[in-house]
Chain A
Amino acid sequence: MSTPATTIFSPETAARFDRLVTLYPVRRSALIPMLLYAQDEVGYISDEVVKEVAQRIGITELDVRNVLSYYSMLRTKPAGKYNIQVCTNISCMLRGGYEILEHCKQRLGIGHKEVTPDGQFSLEEVECIGACCWAPAIQVNYDFYDELTPEKMDAVLEEYKTGRGKETR
Chain B
Amino acid sequence: MADVTFTVDGKKLTAPAGTLLIDACKAVGIEIPAFCYYPGLSLQAACRMCVVRIEKMPKLQTACTTTVAEGMVVQTETDEIKQARKATIELLLGNHPLDCPVCDAGGECELQDMTFKYGAAESKYVEIKQHREEQQWSPVVFFDRPRCILCYRCVRVCGEGMDVWALGIQNRGVSAVIAPNGQDHLECEECGMCIDICPVGALTSGTYRYKTRPWEMTHVATICTHCGDGCKTTLGTRRSNDGMEIVRGDNRDKSGINGDFLCIKGRYAFDFANRTERLTKPLVRQADGQFKEASWSEAIDFAAKRLREIRESKGGQAIGVIGSNRTTNEENYLLQKFARTVLGTNNIDHHRTVDYVSFAAALAGKSERTASLRDTANAPAILLLGNDPTEQHPALAWNLRSNVRLNRARIYIANHAEIKLRRQAKQFLEIPKDGYASLVQYLAGNDSVVAANEQTAAFRDAIRKEESLLIIFGSEFRGRDIQALVEFGLSLPNTKFVLLGDYANSRGAADMGLLPDTLPGYVPVASAAHFADEYGAVLPQNAGLDLLQMFDAAQSGNLAALYVVGSNPVTRYGVDPAVLKNTFVIVQDMFLTETAQLADVVFPAANLYEKAGTVTNTYGDIQLVKKAADKAGVRSDFELIVRLADRMGADLKKLVPFGRGVRADMGQTRGAQSGEADRHSVWLAAHGLEPKLSPFDPFATLDEIQRLVPSYSFSRLELLAGSDQHAKSELVQISAAPARRDLVLPSQDTLFTSGTLGRYSDKLKEVLDSHTTPKPVEAAAD
A66 interface hit (Cβ, 8 Å)? yes
A21-79 at interface with B (beta carbon < 8 Å) = 60-63, 65-66, 69-70, 76
Closest to A47 in B: B777
Closest to A61 in B: B181
Task: Kindly count the residue-residue contacts between A and B in the assembled complex, taking CB atoms under 8 Å apart.
Answer: 29
In Å, the complex CA distance between A60 and B170 comes to 14
Instruction: Please state if A66 and B172 are interface contacts (CB–CB under 8 Å).
Output: no
Contacts A60-B181, A61-B181: A66 and B170 contacting too (C-beta < 8 A)?
yes
The distance from the CB of B780 to the nearest CB of chain A, in whole angstroms, is 8
The distance from the CB of A48 to the nearest CB of chain B, in whole angstroms, is 13
Instruction: Please state if B170 and A65 are interface contacts (CB–CB under 8 Å).
Output: yes
Q: Which residues of A contact B167 (CB under 8 A)?
A: 62
Instruction: Please state if B168 and A62 are interface contacts (CB–CB under 8 Å).
Output: yes
Q: Which residues of B contact A65 (CB under 8 A)?
A: 168, 170, 179, 183, 780
Closest to A63 in B: B168
Instruction: Please state if A60 and B165 are interface contacts (CB–CB under 8 Å).
Output: yes
Instruction: Please state if A66 and B181 are interface contacts (CB–CB under 8 Å).
Output: no
Q: Which residues of B contact A62 (CB under 8 A)?
A: 165-168, 179-181
Q: Which residues of A contact B171 (CB under 8 A)?
A: 69-70
B121 interface hit (Cβ, 8 Å)? no
From A60, A61, A62, A70, residue with most partner B Cβ within 10 Å: A62
Q: Which residues of B contact A63 (CB under 8 A)?
A: 165, 168
In Å, the complex CA distance between A20 and B307 comes to 78
The distance from the CB of B16 to the nearest CB of chain A, in whole angstroms, is 31
In Å, the complex CA distance between A69 and B167 comes to 14
Closest to B173 in A: A70
The distance from the CB of B219 to the nearest CB of chain A, in whole angstroms, is 35
Instruction: Please state if A66 and B165 are interface contacts (CB–CB under 8 Å).
Output: no
Q: Which residues of A contact B684 (CB under 8 A)?
A: none
B169 interface hit (Cβ, 8 Å)? yes
From A63, A69, A76, residue with most partner B Cβ within 10 Å: A69
Which of A60, A61, A70, A76 lies in contact with B172, CB distance below 8 A?
Answer: A70
In Å, the complex CA distance between A64 and B574 comes to 48
Closest to A59 in B: B165
Q: Which residues of A contact B181 (CB under 8 A)?
A: 60-62
The distance from the CB of A140 to the nearest CB of chain B, in whole angstroms, is 25
Q: Which residues of B contact A76 (CB under 8 A)?
A: 780
Q: Which residues of B contact A61 (CB under 8 A)?
A: 181
In Å, the complex CA distance between A65 and B176 comes to 12
Q: Which residues of A contact B166 (CB under 8 A)?
A: 62
In Å, the complex CA distance between A66 and B169 comes to 6
Closest to B181 in A: A62
Q: What interface size band does chain B fall in?
A: 10 to 19
Q: Which residues of A contact B165 (CB under 8 A)?
A: 60, 62-63
Instruction: Please state if A70 and B168 are interface contacts (CB–CB under 8 Å).
Output: no
In Å, the complex CA distance between A69 and B181 comes to 14
Q: Which residues of B contact A60 (CB under 8 A)?
A: 165, 181
B157-193 at interface with A (beta carbon < 8 Å) = 165-172, 179-181, 183
The distance from the CB of A126 to the nearest CB of chain B, in whole angstroms, is 15
**What string of 1s and 0s marks CB contacts (under 8 Å) between A80-118 and chain B?**
000000000000000000000000000000000000000
Closest to B165 in A: A60
B578-624 at interface with A (beta carbon < 8 Å) = none
From B167, B168, B179, residue with most partner A Cβ within 10 Å: B168
Q: Which residues of A contact B180 (CB under 8 A)?
A: 62
In Å, the complex CA distance between A61 and B171 comes to 15
In Å, the complex CA distance between A63 and B171 comes to 12
In Å, the complex CA distance between A62 and B154 comes to 15
The distance from the CB of B182 to the nearest CB of chain A, in whole angstroms, is 9
In Å, the complex CA distance between A60 and B183 comes to 12
The distance from the CB of A7 to the nearest CB of chain B, in whole angstroms, is 22
Q: Which residues of B contact A70 (CB under 8 A)?
A: 170-172
B117-174 at interface with A (beta carbon < 8 Å) = 165-172
The distance from the CB of B90 to the nearest CB of chain A, in whole angstroms, is 25
Q: Which residues of B contact A69 (CB under 8 A)?
A: 170-172, 179
In Å, the complex CA distance between A70 and B169 comes to 9
The distance from the CB of B176 to the nearest CB of chain A, in whole angstroms, is 8
**What string of 1s and 0s marks CB contacts (under 8 Å) between B180-220 and chain A?**
11010000000000000000000000000000000000000
Q: Which residues of A contact B168 (CB under 8 A)?
A: 62-63, 65-66
In Å, the complex CA distance between A76 and B166 comes to 21
In Å, the complex CA distance between A76 and B780 comes to 10
In Å, the complex CA distance between A117 and B668 comes to 77
B737-782 at interface with A (beta carbon < 8 Å) = 780
In Å, the complex CA distance between A99 and B170 comes to 32
In Å, the complex CA distance between A65 and B781 comes to 12
Closest to B169 in A: A66
The distance from the CB of B63 to the nearest CB of chain A, in whole angstroms, is 28
Closest to B182 in A: A62
In Å, the complex CA distance between A61 and B165 comes to 10
Closest to B166 in A: A62
A107-133 at interface with B (beta carbon < 8 Å) = none
Closest to A71 in B: B172
In Å, the complex CA distance between A43 and B780 comes to 19
In Å, the complex CA distance between A109 and B171 comes to 28
Q: Which residues of A contact B172 (CB under 8 A)?
A: 69-70
In Å, the complex CA distance between A60 and B165 comes to 8
In Å, the complex CA distance between A63 and B155 comes to 11
The distance from the CB of A97 to the nearest CB of chain B, in whole angstroms, is 21
Closest to A72 in B: B172
In Å, the complex CA distance between A61 and B182 comes to 9
In Å, the complex CA distance between A76 and B170 comes to 13
Q: Which residues of A contact B780 (CB under 8 A)?
A: 65, 76
Closest to B175 in A: A69
In Å, the complex CA distance between A65 and B166 comes to 12
In Å, the complex CA distance between A66 and B780 comes to 12
The distance from the CB of B188 to the nearest CB of chain A, in whole angstroms, is 11
In Å, the complex CA distance between A65 and B170 comes to 7
The distance from the CB of B646 to the nearest CB of chain A, in whole angstroms, is 61
Closest to A68 in B: B170
The distance from the CB of A112 to the nearest CB of chain B, in whole angstroms, is 15
The distance from the CB of A30 to the nearest CB of chain B, in whole angstroms, is 19
From B167, B170, B179, residue with most partner A Cβ within 10 Å: B170
Q: Which residues of A contact B170 (CB under 8 A)?
A: 65-66, 69-70
The distance from the CB of B368 to the nearest CB of chain A, in whole angstroms, is 43
The distance from the CB of A61 to the nearest CB of chain B, in whole angstroms, is 7
The distance from the CB of B778 to the nearest CB of chain A, in whole angstroms, is 12
In Å, the complex CA distance between A70 and B171 comes to 4
Closest to A65 in B: B170
The distance from the CB of B618 to the nearest CB of chain A, in whole angstroms, is 33
Q: Which residues of B contact A66 (CB under 8 A)?
A: 168-170, 179
In Å, the complex CA distance between A129 and B2 comes to 52
Closest to B187 in A: A62
Closest to A69 in B: B170
The distance from the CB of B605 to the nearest CB of chain A, in whole angstroms, is 45
The distance from the CB of B779 to the nearest CB of chain A, in whole angstroms, is 10
In Å, the complex CA distance between A69 and B782 comes to 11
Closest to B170 in A: A69
Closest to A64 in B: B168
In Å, the complex CA distance between A61 and B179 comes to 12
In Å, the complex CA distance between A69 and B172 comes to 8
The distance from the CB of B591 to the nearest CB of chain A, in whole angstroms, is 40
Apart from A65-B168, A70-B170, what are 7 other A-B pairs with CB-CB below 8 Å?
Answer: A60-B181, A62-B166, A63-B165, A65-B179, A66-B169, A66-B179, A70-B171
- A/B interface sample: 29 pairs, CB < 8 A: A60-B165, A60-B181, A61-B181, A62-B165, A62-B166, A62-B167, A62-B168, A62-B179, A62-B180, A62-B181, A63-B165, A63-B168, A65-B168, A65-B170, A65-B179, A65-B183, A65-B780, A66-B168, A66-B169, A66-B170, A66-B179, A69-B170, A69-B171, A69-B172, A69-B179, A70-B170, A70-B171, A70-B172, A76-B780
A-B pairs with the 8 shortest C-beta distances?
A69-B170, A66-B168, A62-B181, A62-B168, A70-B172, A69-B171, A60-B165, A66-B170
Using a CB–CB cutoff of 8 Å, the interface residues on chain A facing chain B are: 60-63, 65-66, 69-70, 76
Using a CB–CB cutoff of 8 Å, the interface residues on chain B facing chain A are: 165-172, 179-181, 183, 780
